[in-house]
Chain A
Amino acid sequence: MLIFELSRPGRGSFHQAPAPVPEPQLPPALLRALPPLLPEVSELDAVRHYTRLSQKNFSIDTQFYPLGSCTMKYNPRACNQLAMLPGFLAAHPAAPEAAIQGLLACLYDLQEILKEVTGMAAVSLTPMAGAQGEFAGVAMIRAYHDSRGDAERTEIIVPDAAHGTNPATAAMCGYATREVSTDREGNVDLAALRSAVGPKTAGLMLTNPSTLGVFEPSIEAIRDIVHGAGGLLYYDGANLNAILGKVRPGDMGFDVIHVNLHKTFSTPHGGGGPGAGPVGVSARLAEFLPVPVVAKEEGGYRWLTELERPRSIGRLSAHGGNVGVLLRAYVYARMLGREGMARVADYATLNANYLMAELARAGFELAFPRRRASHEFIVSLKNLKETTGIGAMDVAKRLLDKGFHAPTTYFPMLVSECLLIEPTETESKETLDAFVAAMREILEEAHTRPELVKNAPHTLPVRRLDDVKAARDLNLTWKPNPG
């Protein structure tokens, strides 16, 4: 049932809208003739409808959610409550700085914390998501080369295992993408990298630990190859949570990074955002950071904008970015504190390696059995698919029946029939053991009752959906029945 189908003419109560006023003076030709299609429902109708819809979702608060590469760890309630204090919510983005010193202090402190844990010289918090952070980062690489009159560099190098956002971002910044291959152990193929770099290389975008769930041990050689060719090194911070407090991108030699606060700093994923993707840079790129950034001066905190930062790559949002998300990350960072940063990496890695070891014992095939897992790892169901016809998507759907959200499927594309599994540090041993038990059951079912798995899920509000129909017969808005 859609909210529109609950609508009854005359039911809307309007106690949440202002009282009617005399019509403002506006030319009739510019006014709306027909009302928009919004429902007329009581407040209780709406509350019940959206409460019921929420109950059709899996979420971290209700289920284990080992979605690889997404870091679905517990989102502390305090972070939400404190970011939604009335004083923060009422702050207008164009309010004078004198009126929002407390808010600016939080943002400034967060900039400092991110500088310290990433080892970068300067940070801007403004990108509104990881992908926008990537855009900012690659735009800064371009600004750097342009500022040196070096217009020959037209290529961004990306490992074939990279997130799709990397090549998409390179294209948005006017660069061609050049892929380098991955070797059998999941590392960047150094020979391929050496032959890919040259005078056209603007930079390399690298996720480390990689999307394959392993740390790139030759990172220093990679750095030397790219820097040696005059390119810059971009750190995709999607997996920073795996190394927080252990090793810093700045120390590895990266020139530009972005951090996904909704991953490492546990801000909520909200059913698809909002996130935040702050960027950090080495000193030689600091002047190009996107604006605004927060400065601490004698008289207090203030925004630095295009006026003070004329060489900035510019502005990526109308205001200062996703401030409310930044506040949640700030609260989380203060609660972790000095001692807690490395614990994130310790226990995220512990849980991943434990789960990997237990799943291997349960008979699942690991994509990189000789490697230490980072915070996530890959199981390949290629052989299971060949012997039983049960593939990654089937196992994923069957897990839903057993009360677990599915791992990431079919990414990275390098490993066929893959499940990318990220347990995160906030899950207990009991939860991991229950997941292993469910996976054992599914493996058993795949051999004994394959139809059960093939047709999963059986227990959710809907069964497997026809996504071919969804794409062929596009139905993107509800329409009232004619007559």
Chain B
Amino acid sequence: MPFIPHTPEDLRAMLERIGIPALDGLFDEIPAGLRLHKPPAVPPALGEAEVARLMARRAVPERRTLNFIGAGAYEHHIPAAVWQLATRGEFYSAYTPYQAEASQGTLQVLYEFQTMMASLAGLDVSNAGLYDGASALGEALLMAVRAHRGARRVLMPATVHPAYRRVVRALVKHQGIEVIEVPYCTDCGHTLAEALEPYSKQEVAALVIPQPNFFGVLEPVDDLVNWIHARGGLAVGLVNPVLLGLLKPPGGWGESGADIAVGEGQPLGIPLSGGGPYFGFMTCKAALVRQMPGRIVGATLDKDGRPGYTLTLQAREQHIRRSKATSNICTNQGLMVTAATIHMALLGSVGLRRVAAASCARTQALAEKLTAIPGVSRLFAGPHAHEAVICLPASSSDVLRSLLQRGILGGLDLRVDYPELGHALLVCATETKLTEDLDCYAEQLQAALQDSRVSPC
């Protein structure tokens, strides 16, 4: 029997000790009318070799592709050691470190993670991880509203990832929180302080500041932080952790820094894996730590005065505070956070900065090559990180389909979420894309455009 070690003799001896004649007797408290009398209609069992064959077949993509999509999930090189270490059974098959003395490995990894993330963000403290970037943003806004103790209104620039905005709405809508969308400048592709003015007379708990924003454009973070602080609200940074190796950390934005910074941890050594599991991270100023959701690890001493680590501030959490908890979250996506810690330890600050710089440089080179094609133009000319918006002289969905036939995942179609931009694509090249890959994309785009009927952008 797969994964069940009992021999017939074990079964007989155990039933005898329990004092029942057969396994069925174990379920005698379930009302008879509810009991199933035949096995569920699911496929019959497969052996390991058979299921390996099935999965190997399904894992093979129909054609090899070069990926130029970013949009919140980024293809970076992951050092071989990261997942070989993270999938060691002692990390992989342990649970939340409730028994601290038997979990010092996981706890120290989390303490190292918190140190790394707080430093990357330029803020005082970090929690031990959340589900993903989008839900971390939702939690940050709930936290900001709790900390503000007055306003239940938050400002959300339209330059925040559209899926993140949807997730935030789904997570906060039952708590009477109003999420106001702030329009962006269609010329420069970022939020202008002027666009916030209509809300300057209202009480606002928080302003979300994405850096870079969904378009890869850098926001005027200093002005935005100063604007919201002048009105008594909290500044919530939404940042990419790899780019923080290069960009000014949220703690240094404006006169007094962002109050909370969150983001998607996937770029730190987590494979794309069809969208998950990833992890969210959350950092904040020390004064807000008791409003923070999720697991937090603290250093302490044992009976003999030796240093050790333990979960702390647990009174915020659901298992103690129940309906008054900061969140219902239990997980910290522990395995992902372990991998990310190892990833950051291997790269160091120099390596992380190189990944960030190379990704930005490659995307800038890609944008130049693509816009050299007649009819292809770039939107939002200001400074960019590792994504850019290009405008096509033909239907973006047709072009993407044609590119896929040519082995190129050409970017994200912005038609649905930003129809005002026309036939626009969000493209991304990380450090994994070499000059020959960029040339290949440019050649294939040119060919795809020649194939399609040209209609103006």
Contact = CB atoms under 8 A, between A and B. Distances in A.
Direct contact, A vs B (beta carbon within 8 Å): yes
B357 interface: yes
A135 interface: yes
Interface string A74-103: 111010111011111111111110111111
B201 interface: no
A335 B273 contact: no
B238 to A, nearest CB: 12
B206 to A, nearest CB: 18
Which 8 pairs of residues, A with B, have the shortest CB-CB distance? Answer: A337-B45, A319-B275, A61-B89, A270-B335, A102-B58, A314-B170, A272-B334, A93-B275
Interface string B296-336: 11111111101011101101011111111101111111111
Given A271-B95, A340-B2, 4 more contacts: A172-B327, A461-B308, A467-B100, A477-B115
Contacts of B126: 476-477
A13 to B, nearest CB: 9
Given A80-B87, A164-B325, A26 B101 contact: no
Interface string A294-317: 000000000000110000011111
Interface in A454-483: 455, 457, 460-467, 469-471, 473-478
Contact of A57 (B90, B301, B304): B90
A245 B11 contact: no
A153 interface: no
Contacts of A29: 222, 248
A108 to B, nearest CB: 11
A131 to B, nearest CB: 4
A338 B43 contact: yes
Q: Considering residues A20, A62, A92, which has the most beta carbons from chain B within 10 angstroms of its beta carbon?
A: A92
A270 B115 contact: no
- Chain A interface residue count: which class? 35 or more
Nearest to B313: A471
Interface in A1-32: 2-4, 12, 14, 16-27, 29-32
Given A18-B431, A61-B90, A73-B3, A164 B320 contact: yes
A447 interface: no
Contact of B336 (A49, A76, A273): A273
Contact of B166 (A36, A89, A252, A306): A306
Q: How large is the interface on B (under 10, 10 to 19, 20 to 34, 35 or more residues)?
A: 35 or more
B296 A476 contact: yes
B55 interface: yes
A460 B59 contact: no
Nearest to B33: A220
B143 to A, nearest CB: 13
A474 B298 contact: yes
B166 A315 contact: yes
A222 to B, nearest CB: 12
Contact of A274 (B116, B336, B354): B336
A354 B6 CA distance: 13
A59 B248 contact: no
Interface in A207-239: 214-215, 217, 219-220
A380 interface: no
Interface in A35-55: 35-41, 43, 46-47, 49-51, 53-55
Residue among A23, A271, A273 with max Cβ neighbours from chain B (10 Å): A271
Contact of B41 (A72, A116, A333): A116
Interface stretch (A320-328, A384-392, A438-446): A320-328
Interface stretch (A193-201, A279-287, A424-432): A424-432
A67 interface: yes
B94 A466 contact: no
A419 interface: no
A139 B174 contact: yes
A131 B120 contact: no
B230 interface: no
A3 B112 contact: yes
A245 B315 CA distance: 38
Contact of B14 (A90, A165, A350): A350
Contacts of B197: none
Interface in B332-351: 332-338, 341-342, 344-351
A369 interface: no
Contacts of A164: 317-322, 325
Given A59-B92, A331-B51, A339 B39 contact: yes
